[in-house]
Amino acid sequence: MSFKAKTILLLILLSLVPYVVTMTFLGNAYRNDVENRLMEDMGHQLAITIDRLDQSLQALQNDIEFIASLDIMNDVLTGDLDRRIVNLLLLKKDDLALDGDFDVVDASGLVVASTALDSIGSRINGEPFMQVPLFSTFNDDNIGTLRVRYEMSNLTRYFANDDNFRYALLVNGERYPAQMQSADALSVSGVIGLRPEIGIIFEQNRDFAFAVLDSFTRSFLIALAIGTLIISAIAFLAASYILRPILLLSSTARSIYKTHDYSQRVRVDRSDEIGNLASAFNAMIQGMQDLIARLKEEGENRLKLAQEKNRAEMLQTLSNKLSKYLSPQIYESIFSGERDVKLGSSRKKLTIFFSDIVNFTGTTDQMESEDLTALLNQYLREMTDIALRYGATVDKYIGDAIMIFFGDPHSRGVEEDALLCVEMSLSMQRRVRELHREWRAAGYTKPFVIRVGIHTGYCTVGNFGTESRMDYTIVGSAVNLASRIESTAEPGTVYISEDTYLLVREKFASLPVSKVTPKGISQPVQLYKVLMDEAAERVQTLSQDGFQLQYQPELLTAESREQLRLVLEKITRESSS
């Protein structure tokens, strides 16, 4: 049941219940009162009727007593020869309009005189309705009885019965006049004073008795029905008036729920509690609208942030992956925004490093591919680590060969780049030698031996390729020369070009080895072998103002070394002067 229906019902009940209860109570009380009054009235009427019947009977009694006292009754003794008694009784019967008969019975029970002439001479039997003894007027002897045969019609003739009011006598369970007792009637009863065995009932048709009251009740019920209709209508209007804003609230709330249009508002045209509710609702919706707007904004921001973060993470992941393919310098340079990823190049003086594994194919022929891959990966990883440690740019891996350069994207200066490159190369060789022991321990009988070639020269460095696929690398004859030097180098050594040598000779002991003639260059290029470890330690260097003298001390005596020094001083002096 809806709240509206409940409200209407409640209003109707509240309006009707006291009304109905009061009227019902009053109606009942009034009905009872009316019934009591009616019964009282009927009691009075019955009393009057009883009185009348009593009087009638009393008159009859008096009459027969009077008749009995007459001298004429002495004729009983003569058998009413002169029919004086009969005549008198006939007259009396006529006079009284009696339904019934008088009988005069002598002392022997023989009917001497009777208004029913047939019964004269017969013996009487049964009890009469009324009788008086007869006494002779001369000696008061009982000479007989004057009896009255009496029909109840003598009494019922006093009853003016109709459909609504009925009197009835009740004698020995017989009802006079014989008629059904009404089941639904007001009824009072009594007995006739003179003859207590005769009951008398007075009935009044209840419908008739309460006709006025019923009519009033009908009118009342009609009024009640009309009242109910009016009250219902008022209740409906009142409920509608009360609930309209609530329904409006409800429909607005539903509409907001369906359309998500939080700009909807309930019209507030009242200042009562419901008006306050509507205002509060509007305020709530306003709050929700603001909140939603804020949330939306926040959501969008978060989404943006998340997207950006995702993007960033993706980029990060991507770049992490990319970093594996790029040298960290290039990678950092690109991702820090220092260098645009676009086609383009510049010329720089770089130190280029090439290395490869000597007789890689021959060495690895006997190996299982898994072992080969593991060895190669370890080798490359180790080499790369070293390269990165020295700040090199690992350009690419070409099978077992590694191409590295110094000087781009970060350069510490051409000389420093060359120094770092040579030092890195020596570290790599040392590391490979260390790895030899490990590999042997691991069961590899033919360890890798690498050779290294280094050259310092101008290169074109940048992104080469197309917009969709580009490669950061260096090109130029210097690169080719470096590669050539590498292929010339002895296994396990580091060969450098003269250009490089000139940059690093202060730091690294090197011995000139051979010359090569690269393609497209007419002059052969002098190559130097960088001495490593013990070999380097065995070489002493004397440097003096543009001169540098390298020698192996164990081949010279102290005297020789002193002479050598003096010679050098002399040369220096002469050249400076």
Partner 1 sequence: MRIILLLLSIALVSVAEAAEYAVVVARNSPIEALDSERLRDIFLRRRSFEGNIPLVPVNLLGEEAVRTQFESQVLQMNRGQINQYWVTSHFQGIKPPATQASLQSIKTFIERVDGAIGYLPISMVDDGLKVLHEF
Cβ atoms of residues 123 and 109 within 8 Å = yes
Please state whether the peptide bond connecting residue 177 to the residue before it is cis, i.e. omega within 30 degrees of 0: yes
Cβ atoms of residues 406 and 350 within 8 Å = yes
* Residue 317 CB neighbours (<10 A): 10
Token code pair at residue 204:
């009044």
106 vs 499, beta carbon nearer partner 1: 106
The candidate with the shortest Cα–Cα distance to 539, out of 525, 548, 451, is 548
Place of tokens 């002479």: 563
Token code pair at residue 489:
């180098």
Alpha-carbon radius of gyration of the chain: 76
The candidate with the shortest Cα–Cα distance to 517, out of 507, 528, 509, 525, is 525
Range 411-419, long-range pairs (CB < 8 A, 24+ positions): 411/348, 414/349, 414/351, 414/456, 414/503, 415/503, 415/504, 417/350, 417/351, 417/456, 418/351, 418/454, 418/456, 418/500, 418/503, 418/504, 419/503, 419/504, 419/507, 419/508
> What's the min distance (Å) between Cβ of 137 and partner 1?
6
The candidate with the shortest Cα–Cα distance to 435, out of 487, 388, 368, 386, is 386
The candidate with the shortest Cα–Cα distance to 561, out of 533, 537, 541, 535, is 541
79 vs 328, beta carbon nearer partner 1: 79
Cβ atoms of residues 406 and 393 within 8 Å = yes
Measured between alpha carbons, how far is 572 from 566 in angstroms, rounded to an integer?
Answer: 10
The candidate with the shortest Cα–Cα distance to 486, out of 350, 386, 356, is 356
> What's the min distance (Å) between Cβ of 147 and partner 1?
21
Token code pair at residue 183:
């089941």
State how far the alpha carbon of 469 is from the alpha carbons of 329, 339, 464, in Å. 20, 17, 8
Cβ atoms of residues 348 and 408 within 8 Å = yes
Strand ranges across the sheet with 100-106:
111-114, 100-106, 142-150, 130-135
Measured between alpha carbons, how far is 384 from 267 in angstroms, rounded to an integer?
Answer: 77
What length does the chain have? 577
AA identity, residue 577:
S
Largest CA distance in the chain: 226
φ and ψ at 222, to 5 degrees? -60, -45
State how far the alpha carbon of 241 is from the alpha carbons of 127, 247, 277, 316, 437, in Å. 86, 10, 15, 66, 101
34 vs 72, beta carbon nearer partner 1: 72
> Which residues contact partner 1 (rule: CB under 8 A)?
71, 74-75, 77-79, 81-82, 84, 136-139
Q: What SS3 class is residue 105?
A: strand
> What's the min distance (Å) between Cβ of 179 and partner 1?
47
